[in-house]
Structure formats: C-alpha cells, structure tokens
Structure 1
Amino acid sequence: MLQRRLFCTAISETAFRPNSGGSNYGKWGIKQVTKSNFSEALNDIETRITESDFIAVSLQTTGAYSSPWQRLLPFDTAEIAYLKAKRAAERYQILQFAVCPFSLRESKLIASPYNFHLFPRDELKTGMPSYSFSCQSSYLISIAREGFDFNACINDGISYLSRAQELAAKDCIRSPSAGSCTVPSPASRSVADSIFINRIKSRVKHWRNACTDQSKKTEDVLISSLRKMISATEVHGSRPCLNIDICSEQQVQLVLESLKKFVDVVPLLIPANGGGTQIVRVVLTSSQEDKKLLEKELQEMENKHNKCVRGFREVVDLISCSQKPVVAHNSLNDFTSIHSKFLAPLPSTLDEFRHSLGRVFPHILDVKHLMKELGSQKNLNNIYVATSYLNSRFFAPVDVELPHQAISTKADSVKSHGHNVLKISELFAKVCSILKVDPKAPEAIEHCGQLPPALERYANIFDPCSTSYQDPPINEEDVRVRAKSCKRVSSKNVVFLWGFQSGISTGQVKSLVYGKHEVFSSEFDIRLVDESCAVLVFSSPGLSEVLLEALDSGSLEEMVSEGIRAASYDAYVKVCKLGLWKANLADSLELALEEESECLSEAHTAKDLSVIHWNSDEMISLDDL
C-alpha cells in the first residue's frame, strides 16, 4: 500500500510540476482561445458548462500589489483585505481567464479546461472599455517565462464590456431590431398624436397597396424605379420596405401603434449615431411564414450583435446563468477582478460586495479555505505547493480525464495558465476525498440555488482568516501578527512604528525599543511590514495606549529624538479606506496622521466660530433710536 501511495503521488506531481522541463505539460491539450476562435469556443463551452457539476476559474493579471505592505498581511481584517483586493482589481488588468467545467465521479475528474486571452479595446467606438492599467514587472516576467505571447494577446485578445458599461452605452451600440409598442391608451392621446397616426396609416396603406398591386408587375423597369422613388420604397434584403423618419421617441411609439392593423409588416428600429432611433423601417412580408422567418432572422442578428458587444463577458454570463458552484483558489482577488471588469464598479465595503456578487454567483468555493479544515497553517498561495503539500501527507489519487479537448499543441508544451485551472479542479477533488465530502449530490445540483449539504458551510467565504461562513463571526477588531499563528489579538493592542534607519532587521528594531519604556517589559511581538515600518503587538490590553500617549507627550525623549513615530491600528484602517497608497507604509501613515490633525483643526475652528462674546453694555437699545 505504501508503494502504491508513493507511486500515485509521484504520478500526480510529475504531471503538473511547474519546472519539469516542459515535456509533461503536453499531456493535456488546454484549449487556447483568442478572438479568432472565440465564437467556436463559446458554443463548445456552453455545452460543457451544461454537462458539468462545478466550474473552476483562475485569473492571470498584470499585477497584484505595487509595494510589500499593500499585499494581504496576517493582521489585516476582512474589510482591509477587501480594500486591498479592490485596489488591485481596479489597478491591474486581466490577461488570461481560465475556465474549467468539471464533474467528479468517485476518484475520476472529468474536466474541460479553456484558457481565454483577453485585452480591452474600444472595438465598437463607444469609448469603452479601453482601460489604462498598471503592470507589475515581476508578474510580466513570470508569464513571459511560461511562454506567454504578448503580441497575440494585444492583437488577438478578446475584448468585452461589463454589464454596467453595456447598459450605459446601450443607445450607442444598438443594432436594427424589431420594435415593441408601449404607447398610451387612445384616451390619453392628444389631437396632434391622432393626426400623426392617421397620416402614417394612410402612407403605409398606399405603399403596401403599391407593392402588392399585381397589375404593375409588368411595368417598364424605368417606370417601376421612378414609382419606387416617388413612393419611397426600398428593399430590406429581398423584401420591400418603407423608411419613416422620426424626430422623437414618442413618434416612434406612435408609428408602431399605427402599424398594428397591418398583419403582414414588421417594424424595425434603426438607431441613430448619437443614440436613440433615427428611422422606423417597415418591412413587407409575403405570408405569415415569411413574417416568422424574418422575426427569427432579426432575433438571431440581435443575439449575434449582443454577443459581439459583450465579448468575453458572454462566458461570465454563461457561468452565472448556470448557477453551478464556482471553484477558485484565491476567491477574494479573483472575484474582485471579475466584478470590476465584467459586472460593475466595486462597492466600497465588503458586505456590499458580497451582496452584489451573490446575485450573480450564488455559490463560490475557495479550496484554500477547504484546506484549512485539514489543519494546515501554512501559507499555501501557490496551487502547486498546495498540491505537493496534500500529496506528501494524504493518499487521495485522482484520475484526470479530458474527453472533449483537442490534441495538445506546441503552445501546450510549456506550462500555460490553463493548467492552473485544471490543477484547481484536481486540488478540489483531492480535498473533498480527504474530507470525505460527497461533492456530487445530484439532487442538490439539479436545483438552481442549492449546494450539496456537505459544501454549504464552505461557500462564499471572503475573509482570508476564516474557514466557514457559518462559524461564529470573529470580532472585526481581532487580528494576527504572524501568518502561521492561530492566536488572534485585539487590533487595539497593535501599534505601528517607523522612523528608524532603512535596512534594519526585526531583531534590531526589537533591541531598539527594548527597555525604553515600562510597556516593553511585558510580552510583545514585533515584525517588519516593509523596510520603513514595523508592527508591534502587545499581549496585554491597554499597553498600546500607554505607549502612544508617552510618544505624543514627548516623555520618551530618546525615541522621539531618534525620529521614532507611532500610530494606532485605526490610522492603518484610515490609510486603506482613504486610499493613501504610498510606496512605503510609513509615508501613508504620516498622511493619515496629517489628515487627522487637519480634521481636528477644522473641528476646533468650527467650534470657535460658533462661540460669541456677549456684552449687554455694548448692545444698541431700540428705545434710543
């Protein structure tokens, strides 16, 4: 049994090891999708999503943070973690979006991975999306080493519009579409409206009669052309049509009202360049079957146009409409980017984000939170490290089957981002096997809005330090100072220190403050956040306030003379909420303290302005006037 375990583990690690020389990656043909084959892949992935039980997603962006302190830190609360992820999502661009519909059948993983290459461009000339975005050099170097083709991404990457952008640009990106009438009842119609409707009815009637008059079919071509010119008859495809110019949306509805009595015509709304409707085109059909055929053609044309407008968001909408559970490895960062790019601008708070996202993706499972149930306190941010961790401690072999994928290509001979999403699917299968969780539960998956009972408690967790959404909530003021520590302390016991020389170590900072005040005789922990600032955590309550008061009063002359500055955790919260994202945390905290001083000064000034000096002797008496 031991030999079998080691053999299965070795096979699993070899198939996906990131630095294995590239030869093993060609085992799986990851579907690489660009603008040129997007339509084909869209139809294919729609079928795979319908057939699957879960959908794994993974994003490759141009960066995550611009300085060390702006990444997720152990002492960040859930709200602070969201604010950091929100900034990264708004700042960096998605270059690759991998999607993998998959199902689990005992120890078999049936998966269909796709890797979509994205690039925002204003293809529809609406001023959107055309984002300007930042790039983190280490991220670009990393994906370049993996063989990422930047030229293909920029030239052939798939563009998109978010739901909010599509709604805002709706009038500018309309295609000819069948009109629907919402005109008010005749009782509320004005005299001018009634005259306008009668004129349109008369005009359409004469035009229709001219088109259907059999006696004029043998007319001379010149006479027929002149007659069409005079009657304003044109052709829509092979069908006669009449264009009616309109001046307002009210007139559009009046024209549609006047066409109700003509059962063999179909009205089309032709959009204007600046928005709104420019022309109502009346198309004459030869029969009811021909009318239904035209309406079907128009619907297909509108669907094709909408797909072109939405671009890659069509895939996001397919995932959303399926209501299938979505599996990720870093859900907070991934879904803040998804919300920002494909749904709408990110809300200001975590609760608003969770509510907004839940309407689109009701069930999100993060394998990092599932792995915490195994007792892991390691920081397993890397998918391959997480898999290696499981393989070295547990026996959970998974057979991967890709029945619908094309033959692997040269692009698959190196590790592409599509392998990440396949690895997430495998990691999810392994964790479920180890935890004895049945992820299949067809009776739950077949009903939209439900999850298998064993997985419900792990869904929609966006607090990086939580394991279960249904567990008792952790006090928002509780934080950790070490990534591997289970101990949580109140944020009121946290102090940020800066002003020491650059390049100092944690031990040197601890030696610098030790013995300077009686608070340092108690137990405390200290860690460098970046080269400019350290975080200090007291085990006993009240000591942080004592230290801050001592520094503010100047009683710690030695520390003050050395330029040491300090601030509470509230100042750190203010930095993130106000967006004071400087390269060094010390500079950001200085700005937060300046903001606080200005607010106090303004409050004091406002208070002074409300005070008046009363002297009855100097008042003018009305009796003296």
Structure 2
Amino acid sequence: MTGVTSTPWRESFEFDRHDIRYLKVKDSAEKFAVIQFGVCPFRWDSVKKFFIAHPHNFYIFPRQEVPGSDQSYEFLCQTTSLDFLAKYQFDFNTCLSEGISYLSRIQETAALKRLSSVCLDESSESLSGSKKAEDLQFTRMVDVLFAERMKIKIREWRDGLLHGSNNSSIFPQTSDNPDQRFQTIFFKTRPAFVLNGFTSHQKKLIQMVMEKHFNDLAFVRVTDEETLCQRQLVVYTDSNEDRDLLMKEIKDCLLNETKRKVKSAVGFRKVIDLLSSEKKLVVGHNCFLDFAHIYGKFIGPLPWSAEEYATSLRNYFPYIMDTKVLLNANGSFQFSVKKSSTSLSNAFASLCPGIASGVKDPSLVDKLCVQVEVHVDEQRSLDWNSGAKHEAGYDAFMTGCIFAEACNRLGVDFDMHSTTFGLADEKKLENYINLLYLSWANGDIIDLRTGKRNTDCLASSTTPKTQFREVDFQNIVLLWGLQPTLKPSGIRECISRVFSQSSVSSIYLIDKTAAFVQFSKTETAAEFLDMMESLRSNNGPISVLHPLSKLLEGGCTRAANYEVYREICISPLSKVLFADQAEAVKIKKSRSGSLKSISEEGMVKEDERLGMENSDDNAFHSSDEKERTSFAQSFR
C-alpha cells in the first residue's frame, strides 16, 4: 500500500471506540492505493499427504482505461511507506508501466450505463448529422457548385448499382485516378463508399445532398476498429425497413464494442470475482485493512458503519479467517508463538521453520508438521523461497502455511474436507471464522456476522496482555484548540484544582492541539463540559481567575463529548492538526447542549506524530509500527 494513515491523528488510539476504528480504516482504504496484490491458492493432495501451493504476485495500478472518461484516479502516498517498499526492492517502474488496472463493480456499472447512453446517441446520429438538411444553407457559390458536383457523382454511383453497370468506371481504384477521395467497400453486407479527404464542411454538404435527393442512401459515421479513427460512409439501403435494420446493426455494434472495452477495463477485478465466486475460506493475517481495500477498490464505496460493511462483505466473502486471531485466541499456540511475536514473519518462522528456512535441514523439519509443495512457473519445490522479502505473493504464501500448520495442530483432518466449502465447515475452526482484528493494540475484534465488537474471542488465552481495559466513553471529554505548550500534567492540574486529584483517570494526547480527558465519573465529565462552556461565554474578571482559564488560553479551546469525536472522524477531510480538522468540519453547539458538525471543507495534509499521557508528565508516541507493517503484509 502507498500509505496507512492520511494524517497522524487518524492513527489508532487507545480511546478509539470500535466504530471510530472502522472509520479510520475506511479513511485509509479510500485515500491510499494498493500497488501489489498477493494470492496463493492451496490444495490438499490426499494421496501424497501434503498441500500444493500456487503463489501469485500481481502489480496493480489504478490507471484510467475506460474510453471517453476524463476522470482520473487520485491517491495519497506516505514517504515512510514508499521508503519501506524501496528498501525491499519494490519495482516501481514495473508497477507504473505494467501494473494491471481495474474497475470496481460500481464503476463498471456506471461506465456501462454512461457509455451505453453515449452509444444510443451516436447510433441515432450515425445515420444523420449534427444538423438536418433543412438547417444547412449555401452561403457561398463554391458550396453550390460542390454540392451539384457531388449530387452527380453520387447519382452515377447509385445508378450503377441499380442497373448493374461497372462502378469501377465511376470511382476507379487505380493509381491513375485523379480523385482518390472515394473508396468503394461493403458495409454490413451493403454497398457503400468511404468519404476520404473531405473537410468537415464538405461532408456536411454531402450529407445534405443525400438527405435531400437520395432516400435510399444513408450517411453513416463509424469508428474504424484498427485505427480507432472515425469514418464517414455513404451506404445503399434498398428500403426503409433495410434502413431501420442498418441503424439497429450499428447500435448493436456500438453497444457490443462498449461492453468489450468496459470488460477489458475491469482488469484485475476478475481475480477478485473468481475468489468471491468460489465461496470458500479466504485466509489473511491481520487483514481487516486488507479487506477494506478489497471492498473499496473492487466492489464499491465503503459503507459508513461497521455493521453495514460486515453484512455487505459477507455477501462476497462469506468465510474469512484471520490467522492473527487464531494464533492469539487459542492457547495451544502460546508455546510455539509468543504473544509479542505474532507478526507474519515471526509466526511463519515459529510455526513453519522447515519451510521458512528454505533449505532441507533435518533438524528443522518436524515430521508432524504439514508439508507444502510449491508450484511456480511449472516448477515444483518443497523448499521454495521467492527471495523477495515482503513481496505480496510470498506474504500470501506464508499466511497460507501458517494457517495450514495451525489446522494441523488443531487436529483438522484434511482428507475430510474435499467438499464445496472446504475448511469453512470445519467444527474446530468455527469459533475463529469471520473474526478480524480491528485493532491489535487494544484487542478490538470485529465479528463479521454482526458487525459488532467481539469480547469473548481472547478468553481462552491466559496471557496477561489479552486483558484489555474496558473504557466507558461517556466519561471521556474531547478537548481541542489547546496551546501547543500545554502539557498533560498541566491539563490534569487545572482540572484537579476544580474537582479532585482522583477526578481524572487518564489523559491521552491526540496531537499538540487536542487531547482526550478520561474522568472517573460520568457526572464529573458532564459538569466539566458545562463549566467550560460557561467560561467560554463569560469573559469577565472572575473567569480569568478561574483554575480552568489556563485551558482557554488562546481563545480557541473547545470541549465536547465523545460523539463529537465521531463526527470529526467521519469527515473525509484530513487536516494536519486535529484542531484545524474540527474547525474545517465546523463543529457548532446544538440546542441540546452537545456539539455537532454542520459542514465540511478542506484538503488532506500531514504533520507530527502523536503522544499519550496516563498518570504522569511523560508523553510517548503511540504508533505500533510493527503491527501496521504486519497489517499490510498481504498487500502493498
């Protein structure tokens, strides 16, 4: 992928509710491009008792290939992501020059509708011009003479057809012919001649002559299939019915050509359609963002809510397995894979050392481990290694190997799963299917069957890291417009002087202009909001002496409940600073006392990283870089 977060405050935070996390993933999938895609089908050989893998690596690039469209794709790039790709020898030239283009299903439908409408207009105009004969007038004597000469030549050609004379004497096709502007051909099995070398004005005059003097001749505009240039023809039709039939044939030809061009522009989506049509288990590693990209790039615009997204995604991919969920949720893997080492490469090295080593070392190969034979370019290998670290095709291969070994350790009998749905109906896997990590840092798992957060998946794990803190979002207040010099300890001190030392549970910096304040009680949070609004509206001397006045320095500080944070994240804008984002979204106080957004405007920018503060004055960056890297393993 060309990036992960469009601006620092759109990174995943501790105080992000699951619907907020979805909105941030949605923003990422909409603003960045996928430029490499890895697919690796696995098939179980029941005779040889091993899997056969077929890894594929695709360069894709969203160029505009729909004819007649002036709309081009736009996407963001993060320097850190491009630097990462360059570090691992990503071939940017191949991607740009040979990358496969694509259309989503929605884009394909819209293109067919638009181009079909254009074709209907063109077919109706192909037998007539932009002006009717009666609308054209001779303004010069040269036009009168030209029209008369064309009438004579066309009548001679027509009479030659009707009376069986040799039309080559009328329009000879020899090098000695002084007038090579006429070329006799057959069009749709009908005799015709091509108008070559005439100006557009002269062609209009010829059309006028035909419409006025020759009812059995049609003036036709067609596009040459080889040169893609438009040609004008005079076609003979022996009746009105034949003329109508000719028009229908032209319309059908234009429609078929349009469908062919759009189908060709669908490009890489054909691979996605094939995967979807199989309705089998699709495996990824930390793949929520991956599937958001698949949906947005190849299906249609991402829905606004996680619930709608989950329902729609399951229509195309009914069975999805996240191997990161599987490894962390099942205690049997804790001895092989440490909780802090469930990134794709670490999990692959831990669970599949024989395959990961790329060499036939008996000390690394456990006979109980599943074996995988790789078929690449008609070659077979049991110790295949592409040699390209972080290549999407190899990442997909690693993901499949991890899943195969996990199933092996769970006691799955591969011989029993030759049905249509394969491993999707395996009872030992049913508790892990359609559960995806929305945020590994906070343990948020989304259940695609409901679109809601799943809280029971990690219950089987005994690792302390899985005991994530539950957050009451009614206790959280959002502050923005703060002075950059104001530290978390200063915010805590101001609030504690009004309420108590225990009134604030934690403070989380969004960036240098905004912060979350988590209160210990909902009532305290509500009282704080009322007090901040009162101080903002009253600039008297008492307000200046109030302990909270330090928060209001600069005159731009605002406070709101957690729902306003959602409204700000919903906006497609991505201002660098959170305070600027809130201003661009134009948060305004409603009659109920809460804040709401009333409009949106702006552009996407980037700025500094973010920090966090819990109970002391030490702020630190919250980015989880390793997990974001693992998040993008199967895609670039």
- State the TM-score bracket (shorter-chain normalisation): 0.5 to 0.7
Give 1:496's aligned amino acid: L
Residue 294 of structure 2 corresponds to residue 335 of structure 1: no
Output the CA distance in 2 between the equivalents of 1:503 and 1:435.
54
Which segments of 5 or more consecutive residues in structure 2 lack a partner in the other structure? 120-160, 173-183, 193-216, 221-237, 354-365, 439-443, 456-463, 536-542, 596-636
Contact kept, 8 Å, 1:327 with 1:365, in 2: the verdict is yes
Contact kept, 8 Å, 1:457 with 1:468, in 2: the verdict is no
Match of 1:584 in 2: 577
Match of 1:466 in 2: 445
Which segments of 5 or more consecutive residues in structure 1 lack a partner in the other structure? 1-60, 178-210, 227-231, 248-254, 278-297, 477-481, 604-625
Output the CA distance in 2 between the equivalents of 1:156 and 1:172.
27
1:231-276: CA deviations, max 9, x gaps?
A: x98277xxx56899799xxxxxxx9xx89xx9xx9x955568xxx6
Identity percentage of aligned residues: 30
Give 2:581's aligned amino acid: S
What SS is found at the alignment partner of 1:318?
A: helix
Alignment of 1:515-526 (within 5 A): 515-522=496-503, 524-526=505-507
Contact kept, 8 Å, 1:379 with 1:484, in 2: the verdict is no
From 482, 487, 493, the equivalent of 2:475 is 493
From 399, 402, 406, the equivalent of 1:427 is 402
Output the CA distance in 2 between the equivalents of 1:173 and 1:144.
39
Q: Give the superposition deviation at 1:450.
A: 6.0
Match of 1:597 in 2: 589
Q: Give the superposition deviation at 1:169.
A: 1.9
What SS is found at the alignment partner of 2:515?
A: strand
1:14-51: CA deviations, max 9, x gaps?
A: xxxxxxxxxxxxxxxxxxxxxxxxxxxxxxxxxxxxxx
Match of 2:147 in 1: none
Alignment of 1:300-315 (within 5 A): 307-315=263-271
Match of 2:625 in 1: none
1:296-354: CA deviations, max 9, x gaps?
A: xx9xx999756522111111111122222222224331222222222222222223222
Match of 1:46 in 2: none
Residue 446 of structure 2 corresponds to residue 446 of structure 1: no
Output the CA distance in 2 between the equivalents of 1:120 and 1:381.
32
Give 1:325's aligned amino acid: L
Contact kept, 8 Å, 2:446 with 2:452, in 1: the verdict is no
Contact kept, 8 Å, 2:88 with 2:388, in 1: the verdict is yes
What SS is found at the alignment partner of 2:564?
A: helix
Q: TM-score, normalised by structure 2?
A: 0.59
Q: Give the superposition deviation at 1:68.
A: 2.5
Output the CA distance in 1 between the equivalents of 2:299 and 2:2.
19
Contact kept, 8 Å, 2:59 with 2:100, in 1: the verdict is yes
What SS is found at the alignment partner of 1:553?
A: helix
Match of 2:127 in 1: none
Output the CA distance in 1 between the equivalents of 2:407 and 2:57.
25
Match of 1:165 in 2: 107
What SS is found at the alignment partner of 1:582?
A: coil
Contact kept, 8 Å, 1:441 with 1:452, in 2: the verdict is no
Give 1:399's aligned amino acid: Q
1:484-527: CA deviations, max 9, x gaps?
A: 65221221122234555547776x46764573233542571333
Give 1:132's aligned amino acid: E
1:187-233: CA deviations, max 9, x gaps?
A: xxxxxxxxxxxxxxxxxxxxxxxx9xxxx9xx98959999xxxxx98
Contact kept, 8 Å, 2:2 with 2:32, in 1: the verdict is yes
Output the CA distance in 2 between the equivalents of 1:404 and 1:321.
24
Contact kept, 8 Å, 2:54 with 2:376, in 1: the verdict is yes
Contact kept, 8 Å, 2:102 with 2:265, in 1: the verdict is yes
Contact kept, 8 Å, 1:307 with 1:314, in 2: the verdict is no
Give 2:69's aligned amino acid: G
Closer, same or farther: CA 559–110 of 1 in aligned 2, 3 Å = farther
Contact kept, 8 Å, 2:279 with 2:317, in 1: the verdict is yes
What SS is found at the alignment partner of 1:359?
A: helix
Match of 2:155 in 1: none
From 540, 550, 554, the equivalent of 1:561 is 550
Q: Give the superposition deviation at 1:446.
A: 1.0
Farther off after superposition, 321-330 or 369-378: 369-378
Q: Give the superposition deviation at 1:129.
A: 6.3
Contact kept, 8 Å, 2:55 with 2:376, in 1: the verdict is no
Closer, same or farther: CA 220–578 of 1 in aligned 2, 3 Å = closer
What SS is found at the alignment partner of 2:107?
A: helix
Output the CA distance in 1 between the equivalents of 2:16 and 2:342.
16
Match of 2:39 in 1: 99
Match of 1:142 in 2: 84
What SS is found at the alignment partner of 1:341?
A: helix
Contact kept, 8 Å, 1:567 with 1:589, in 2: the verdict is no
Output the CA distance in 1 between the equivalents of 2:93 and 2:320.
33
Q: Give the superposition deviation at 1:96.
A: 0.7
From 570, 575, 582, the equivalent of 2:563 is 570
Match of 1:12 in 2: none
What SS is found at the alignment partner of 2:35?
A: strand
Q: Give the superposition deviation at 1:355.
A: 2.8
Residue 544 of structure 2 corresponds to residue 551 of structure 1: no
Output the CA distance in 2 between the equivalents of 1:144 and 1:342.
26
Closer, same or farther: CA 397–494 of 1 in aligned 2, 3 Å = farther
Match of 1:401 in 2: 373
Match of 1:535 in 2: 516
Q: Give the superposition deviation at 1:546.
A: 2.8
Closer, same or farther: CA 382–304 of 1 in aligned 2, 3 Å = farther
Alignment of 1:246-265 (within 5 A): none
Match of 1:117 in 2: 59
The root-mean-square deviation of aligned C-alpha atoms, in Å, is 5.1
Q: Give the superposition deviation at 1:163.
A: 1.7
Q: Give the superposition deviation at 1:150.
A: 1.4
Output the CA distance in 2 between the equivalents of 1:338 and 1:427.
22
1:73-96: CA deviations, max 9, x gaps?
A: 333233222221221122111111
Match of 2:28 in 1: 88
What SS is found at the alignment partner of 1:525?
A: strand
Q: Give the superposition deviation at 1:467.
A: 6.5
Match of 2:226 in 1: none
Match of 1:63 in 2: 3
From 372, 377, 384, the equivalent of 2:345 is 384
Match of 1:345 in 2: 301
Output the CA distance in 1 between the equivalents of 2:39 and 2:299.
17
Closer, same or farther: CA 362–536 of 1 in aligned 2, 3 Å = same
Q: Give the superposition deviation at 1:137.
A: 0.9
Closer, same or farther: CA 527–429 of 1 in aligned 2, 3 Å = farther
Match of 1:33 in 2: none
Q: Give the superposition deviation at 1:432.
A: 2.9
